[in-house]
């Protein structure tokens, strides 16, 4: 886990003048899931206000004692893998789930469970961070922020906030027992068969079963399956 954590900590975004790095991409596969130990509205997902800047120590990464601890009904803080959506039905869709520059679906980075005790509507509250794997898009994002382009701001990094009251349709109002008996009250939306991250609004025209968040992920899955068949018949 340490090498993957070092990749995140060592990420450096430079200006557009660094032409040699424009086409560099981050690894296409998600990082292995790890728990994040934290040091110090209505349901749905909202973009966090990017104008509010504060220096916050989030915590540190550690390997989970058991993969089951990362399930959504245990309200985990985690990095890598796929998100454990707090509201498993009303997920971000459309342009909000894609990079504002290349249009590719964003990749999950981490989530932090951060409830607000004084706010009944935020009894459960989670922040989700996503980013585009293309360094070229990150360069352009930083450049547009420097130029303060307010006309049509585009982003390659997005943070979503979701919050729920204690009594809701997804989880029990009682705290989880964490003895393998905890279950969510209902199933979540069908997710993309390829990335497992975003809502699968598109259904495969062939098998009529697999679902995808975008045509790009459907194409990647079909192409990958074709390559596997070709290798199997060699």
Task: Give the start-end residues of each E strand in 114-222.
Answer: 124-131, 157-164, 202-203, 211-212
CB of 44 closer than 8 Å to CB of 72: no
Q: Could you give the number of structural domains in the chain?
A: 1
Check residues 197 and 66 and name the one with the higher pLDDT: 197
Instruction: Identify the domain containing residue 215 by its residue range.
Output: 67-143+154-174+185-223
Flag whether 47 is in a domain.
Answer: no
| Residue 214 pLDDT > 80 | yes
- For 167-203, write each residue's pLDDT tens digit: 999 999 999 988 888 889 999 999 998 999 999 988 8
DSSP code of residue 196: S
Rounded CA gap, 230 and 103, in Å? Answer: 30
Flag whether 34 is in a domain.
Answer: no
Residue 27's pLDDT band, with cuts at 50, 70 and 90, is very low
Residue 5's pLDDT band, with cuts at 50, 70 and 90, is low
pTM above 0.75, yes or no: no
Flag whether 167 is in a domain.
Answer: yes
Flag whether 49 is in a domain.
Answer: no
| Residue 23 pLDDT > 50 | no
Flag whether 135 is in a domain.
Answer: yes
Flag whether 75 is in a domain.
Answer: yes
Chain centroid offset of residue 204 CA: 23
Flag whether 207 is in a domain.
Answer: yes
Flag whether 83 is in a domain.
Answer: yes
Mean pLDDT for all residues in the chain: 79
């Amino acid at each position: 886990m340490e090498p993957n954590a070092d990749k995140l900590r060592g990420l450096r975004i430079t200006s557009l003048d660094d032409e040699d790095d424009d086409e560099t991409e981050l690894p296409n596969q998600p990082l292995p899931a790890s728990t994040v130990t934290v040091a110090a509205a209505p349901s749905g997902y909202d973009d966090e206000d990017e104008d509010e800047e504060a220096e916050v120590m989030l915590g540190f990464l550690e390997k989970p004692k058991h993969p089951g601890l990362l399930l959504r009904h245990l309200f985990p803080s985690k990095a890598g893998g796929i998100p454990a959506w707090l509201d498993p039905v009303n997920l971000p869709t459309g342009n909000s789930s894609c990079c504002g520059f290349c249009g590719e679906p964003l990749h999950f980075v981490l989530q932090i469970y951060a409830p607000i005790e004084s706010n009944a509507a935020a009894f459960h509250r989670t922040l989700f961070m996503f980013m585009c794997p293309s360094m070229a898009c990150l360069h352009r994002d930083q450049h547009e922020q420097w130029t303060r382009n307010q006309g049509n701001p585009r982003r390659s990094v997005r943070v979503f906030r979701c919050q729920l009251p204690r009594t809701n349709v997804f989880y029990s109002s009682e705290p989880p027992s964490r003895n393998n008996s905890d279950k969510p009250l209902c199933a979540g939306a069908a997710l993309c068969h390829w990335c497992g991250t975003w809502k699968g609004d598109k259904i495969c025209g062939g098998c009529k079963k697999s679902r995808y968040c975008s045509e790009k992920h459907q194409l990647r899955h079909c192409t990958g399956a074709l390559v596997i068949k070709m290798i199997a018949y060699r």
